[in-house]
Amino acid sequence: MAPVTNARVLFAAVPKDFPIPGETTVHDTTQTIDLDNVPLNGGFLIKTLVLSIDPYMRGRMRSPEQKSYSPPYTIGAPILGYGVSLVLRSENPDVAAGKYVYGTVPHQEYNIMPDMQGLTLLEKHPKLPWTVFVGAAGMPGAYNGSFSASGVNELCFQERPRTLAGKNSRTQKRRSSDWHLYFRQLTWFFQGETAFITTGAGPVGSMVIQLAKRDGLKVIASAGSDEKVKFMKEIGADVAFNYKTTSTREVLEREGPVDIYWDNVGGEILEAALDNANLYGRFLECGMISGYNTGQKGIKNLNQMFAKSLTMYGILVFRLQPKYDKEFYEVIPSALASGELKYSEDVSRGLETVGDVILRVQEGRNTGKAVVIVAEE
Amino acid sequence: MAPVTNARVLFAAVPKDFPIPGETTVHDTTQTIDLDNVPLNGGFLIKTLVLSIDPYMRGRMRSPEQKSYSPPYTIGAPILGYGVSLVLRSENPDVAAGKYVYGTVPHQEYNIMPDMQGLTLLEKHPKLPWTVFVGAAGMPGAYNGSFSASGVNELCFQERPRTLAGKNSRTQKRRSSDWHLYFRQLTWFFQGETAFITTGAGPVGSMVIQLAKRDGLKVIASAGSDEKVKFMKEIGADVAFNYKTTSTREVLEREGPVDIYWDNVGGEILEAALDNANLYGRFLECGMISGYNTGQKGIKNLNQMFAKSLTMYGILVFRLQPKYDKEFYEVIPSALASGELKYSEDVSRGLETVGDVILRVQEGRNTGKAVVIVAEE
C-alpha cells in the first residue's frame, strides 16, 4: 500500500494567555507514513481512535525553563495526550495487532510506539464506546477513586514510604497493615457532611458528585452554564448553580458551611470556599483552571487554614494510577454501562478539531468530557 | 487600705494598618480599686505579674463585623491576653489566695475573675521566672508539641470525632485504638528530611527548631535580623538566614527541597516554600504575620499543591491545649530549666509599655518572646 497521510497536531507557539487554534497548535497534513513497511524496531504501530482533551494540557504548553509536574510540549513536535488506539502491527510480544491500548500518545493519526511504557491494554466493552475510556472510564474518571473510601485517602501519601525507602525512616518499622489503616483514614469523611464540588458537570466533578451522594453527603455543585447546572441536578447534586450568574459566596453562606471542598478551579471560588469552610474542613486540590491561561489569582485568605483547622490535600491522579488501575477497570466501566454511574460527553470529530477543542475546554465551553474521535476502527 | 490605681490598657481604635501606641491602645490610670473590700461575688481577685504579647493579638483588634477564630476586642474595654497572675483574695474553693493562675486576662493591674474558666493553676518553679510561663512554657511553647511525634499529628483532627458525635458517622464504629494510630501517623516525618522553619528566633519557631533537630531533621531557619540568625544557629539550625538581606528563594533552591515547612509568616516566603517543596511535602500553617497589618498578599502558586502532592495543615494551639496541658507541664518546664531546651526573651517592664511592645511584635523588632513584667509579687 502506498504511503498515506499521517496528520498531526504540532505545538507551534507558547500561548500568551488562551491557546489559539492555528497559532498555538497547527494541524499539519504534510507527513506521510507507509503503514505496511514502516520499520517498527521491536515496537508497534498504532492507529489513533479517540483523543482526550483535558485542562492540564495547557500546563504543558509552556517554555521549557518553567518547571512543572509534567514535561513541556516541544515546539515543532506533536502535542501529547491521552487516547485510545488500535494496534495495526507489532513486533512486541506483549501486544498483538488487533489489541487496543490506552495512554499518552502524540496527537498523530498513526504512531510507532517503542514499548508499552505509559500504555495499558484495554478490552473492548460491549456497551461502551471508546470515548468513555478517555473520560469517565479513563484518566479523569480515575479521580473517582479520590472520593471513595479507598480514594483520596491514599492519593497524597501512598507513595511516601517507597519514595523514602533507603532512608532511616520511622515508617519502615511499621507493619504494612498499619499503613493500610493510615491510608484509609486520611481524609475520612462523614455521612451528613456537606461537600462543595466545582466543575461539577465535567468528567472529574460529575463523578465526584455521584460518589459523594452515594456516600451520604449533602452536595453543593457549581459549573458555568445553565445546561451544566441541569446535568448536575440530574446526577444528584442537592444544590447546583451557575457560578457566572449566581454568587458562590451567597450559595455557600446559605447552604454551607463546607466540610469537603473539591477544587478544580482555584481563584475567587477557592477564596469563597475558605471563608465558608467548616471547622476541620478538608480541601481537595485537584486543579485550578481559573488561572491556567491568565495567571493564578493570589489567594488572600489562607489564614483560614489555621483559623478553622483546615487540611488541604494536593492530589494528582497519575501518581495513584499504577496502584488502582486494576480495581478501577473492574468496577467503573460496568457501573457506567449499567447506568449506575452517569456521564456526559462533548464529542468532536477529526484531528483538525483538536486546537479548537483545547480552547473550548480552557474556556469551559465544553459540556461534559471533551473527546475527539480521530478515526473509526 | 485606701483604693489604689488599677491601671489598664484600653482598646481605643481599630488600627488602619499597624497598631499605634496611644491611638489603637491607650494606657489608662483613671481607675481605682479597693483591694480589701471590692466584692468578689464568689470569684477571686488577682494581681497581674506578667503579660504575654503575641502576634495573634492584632487579629483581635478588628471591627466586630469581621469573623475570626477569636472574638474581637471591645472598643473602650481593656485588651486581653495571656498572663500569669497572683491570687490576692478568693471566694472560690478551687483557688486560694497565694496561688498562681495562667490564662487569658484583661490587661489591668488587678482583675476580678468570676471562675477558673480559661485559667490554669501554675506551680512556682524554683529555677524559672514567671515570664517563661507565658513563653516557652506557655501558649507559644505549646506549639512545641506540634512538632513532636504526639504533636501536629493530632492538632487538626483530634476533635473531629467529638465534633461529629451524634452524626451517623463511620468514625464511631472505629475502636479508639485505631484513632490513636491515626493521629500518630497523620503528619509523620522522617529522619533525614529537611524542615524550613520561619520566625525561627521567636517562641514558637525556636522550639520547633530544637525539636526538629532532636528528631533528626536538617533544619533551615529564617528570621529578620542578624541577632536572630545568631540565636537560631546557637539552638541548632543547620542553615540560618536573615530573610531581609538574603533571598529565601536562593537559600531554599540551594538547601532544599523542603519536606516540612513551618509557616508563621505567609506571603512571599510561603510562595517560595511552595516552589521549593519536595514531592509529598507537608506544610504546617501556624500563622501569617506578614499580612496581619497590611493585608495578606495573595498566594499565586497554590497549584504546587497538586503538582507536588503536598498537604497543608492548619494548626491552632488552643484547640489542642486541653488535651496536652498535663503532658506539657510535666515535660517542658523542666527541660527549659535544665537547659535541654533553650529559649530567648525580650522583656519590658510596666503596663505602660504594652502598646509599644504590641507594635514591636507586629514589626518583628522583638528578639525572643515578648513579655511585659507588670508587677513583682
Nearest to B156 among A168, A193, A280 (CB): A280
Based on the domain organization, do A120 and A214 belong to the same domain? no
Cα of B194 to nearest chain A Cα, Å: 13
Which one, of A118, A146, A97, lies nearest residue A282 by Cα? A146
Cα of B271 to nearest chain A Cα, Å: 10
Cα of B289 to nearest chain A Cα, Å: 10
Based on the domain organization, do A238 and A270 belong to the same domain? yes
- A152 pLDDT tier (thresholds 50, 70, 90): very low
Nearest to A280 among B157, B270, B285 (CB): B157
* Contact in structure between A47 and A85 (CB atoms under 8 Å): yes
Based on the domain organization, do B113 and B240 belong to the same domain? no
Q: Which of B306, B311, B320 to mutate to test binding with chain A, by most A CBs within 10 Å of its CB?
A: B306
CB contact under 8 A, A266 and B306: no
CB contact under 8 A, A314 and B319: no
CB contact under 8 A, A191 and B171: no
CB contact under 8 A, B319 and A309: yes
Q: Which residues of chain B carry a pLDDT beneath 70?
A: 142-191, 320-324
CB contact under 8 A, B170 and A163: no
Total domains in the fold of chain A = 2
Based on the domain organization, do B32 and B125 belong to the same domain? yes
- N-to-C CA span, chain B: 18
- CATH number of the domain that residue A260 is part of: 3.40.50.720
pLDDT at B162: 28
Based on the domain organization, do A178 and A311 belong to the same domain? yes
Residues facing residue B194 across a β-bridge: B218
CB proximity list for A8: less than 8 A, separation 6 or greater: A27, A28, A31, A78, A106, A107, A108, A109, A351
Calpha distance B310→B278 (Å, rounded): 8
Based on the domain organization, do B65 and B122 belong to the same domain? yes
Calpha distance B317→B139 (Å, rounded): 7
Which one, of A258, A253, A248, A218, lies nearest residue A236 by Cα? A218
Nearest to B190 among A169, A287, A309 (CB): A169
- A304 pLDDT tier (thresholds 50, 70, 90): very high
Instruction: Give the residue-averaged pLDDT of A348-358.
Output: 97
Based on the domain organization, do A61 and A165 belong to the same domain? no
Which residue on chain A is closest to B295 by alpha carbon?
A300
Residues facing residue B5 across a β-bridge: B32
Nearest to B156 among A68, A192, A311 (CB): A311
pLDDT at A143: 62
What is the domain range of residue B86? 1-134
Residue B317, φ and ψ in degrees, nearest 5 = -65, -35
| B39-55 b/e (C-beta count within 10 Å ≥ 16 → b) | eeeebbbbbbbbbbbbb
CB contact under 8 A, A303 and B296: yes
CB contact under 8 A, B314 and A304: yes
Calpha distance B257→B281 (Å, rounded): 9
* Contact in structure between B152 and B187 (CB atoms under 8 Å): yes
Based on the domain organization, do B130 and B156 belong to the same domain? no
Q: Domain for residue B119, yes or no?
A: yes
CB proximity list for A181: less than 8 A, separation 6 or greater: B178, B181, B182
The size of the A-B interface in CB pairs under 8 A is 162
* Residue B102, C-alpha cell as written in the block: 495562667
- A323 pLDDT tier (thresholds 50, 70, 90): low
Residue with grid cell 513497511, as numbered in its chain: A37
Instruction: Give the residue-averaged pLDDT of A298-316.
Output: 90
pLDDT at B173: 30
Nearest to B171 among A190, A291, A309 (CB): A190
Cα of B84 to nearest chain A Cα, Å: 25
> Rg (Cα) of chain A, in Å, rounded?
21
Q: Domain for residue B155, yes or no?
A: yes
- A142 pLDDT tier (thresholds 50, 70, 90): low
Based on the domain organization, do A180 and A304 belong to the same domain? yes
CB contact under 8 A, A68 and B307: yes
- Residues of A within 8 A of B171 (CB-CB) are 188, 190
- Residues of A within 8 A of B192 (CB-CB) are 167-169
Calpha distance B308→B99 (Å, rounded): 52
* Residue A175, C-alpha cell as written in the block: 507493619
Which residue on chain B is closest to A294 by alpha carbon?
B300
Residue B37: alpha-carbon gap to chain centroid: 36
Cα of A59 to nearest chain B Cα, Å: 11
Nearest to B305 among A160, A307, A312 (CB): A312
| Structural domain ending residue among the three candidates B319, B352, B370 | B319
Calpha distance A107→A121 (Å, rounded): 19
A108-133: pLDDT as tens digits: 999 999 999 989 999 999 999 999 99
**Which run of H or of E encompasses A318?**
none
Residue with grid cell 507557539, as numbered in its chain: A13
Cα of A60 to nearest chain B Cα, Å: 12
- CATH number of the domain that residue B88 is part of: 3.90.180.10
Which residue on chain B is closest to A153 by alpha carbon?
B186
Nearest to B167 among A192, A270, A299 (CB): A192
Between B153 and A298, name the one with better pLDDT: A298
Residue A250, φ and ψ in degrees, nearest 5 = -65, -40
CB atoms within 10 A of CB A376: 9
Which one, of B275, B103, B286, B153, lies nearest residue B207 by Cα? B286
Which residue on chain A is closest to B155 by alpha carbon?
A309
Three-state secondary structure call for residue A78: strand
Instruction: Give the residue-averaged pLDDT of A137-150.
Output: 61
CB contact under 8 A, B190 and A171: yes
Which residue on chain B is closest to A191 by alpha carbon?
B169
Q: Domain for residue B120, yes or no?
A: yes
Q: Domain for residue A258, yes or no?
A: yes
CB proximity list for B361: less than 8 A, separation 6 or greater: B53, B54, B55, B57, B370
CA B286 vs CA A110, B167, B188, B307: distances in Å: 53, 29, 17, 23
Q: Domain for residue B342, yes or no?
A: no
Cα of B176 to nearest chain A Cα, Å: 13
Based on the domain organization, do B158 and B251 belong to the same domain? yes
Three-state secondary structure call for residue B73: coil
Q: Domain for residue B45, yes or no?
A: yes
pLDDT at B144: 56
Residue B333, φ and ψ in degrees, nearest 5 = -55, -40
Cα of A262 to nearest chain B Cα, Å: 12
Based on the domain organization, do A153 and A116 belong to the same domain? no
Nearest to A181 among B181, B300, B315 (CB): B181
Q: Domain for residue B100, yes or no?
A: yes
Q: What share of chain A in percent tops pLDDT 70?
A: 85
A209-246: pLDDT as tens digits: 887 887 778 999 999 999 999 999 999 999 999 999 99
> What is the sign of the dihedral through the CA atoms of A218, A223, A225 and A231?
negative
CB contact under 8 A, B308 and A69: yes
CB contact under 8 A, A163 and B308: no
Q: Domain for residue B357, yes or no?
A: no
Based on the domain organization, do A81 and A175 belong to the same domain? no
Instruction: Give the residue-averaged pLDDT of A291-303.
Output: 93
Beta-strand pair B258-263/B345-349 = unpaired
CB contact under 8 A, A307 and B190: no
CB contact under 8 A, A319 and B309: yes
Strand ranges in A91-148 using DSSP code E only, listed in sequence order = 100-106, 110-113, 119-122
* Residue A373, C-alpha cell as written in the block: 474521535
**Complex confidence, ipTM:** 0.86
Calpha distance A83→A85 (Å, rounded): 6
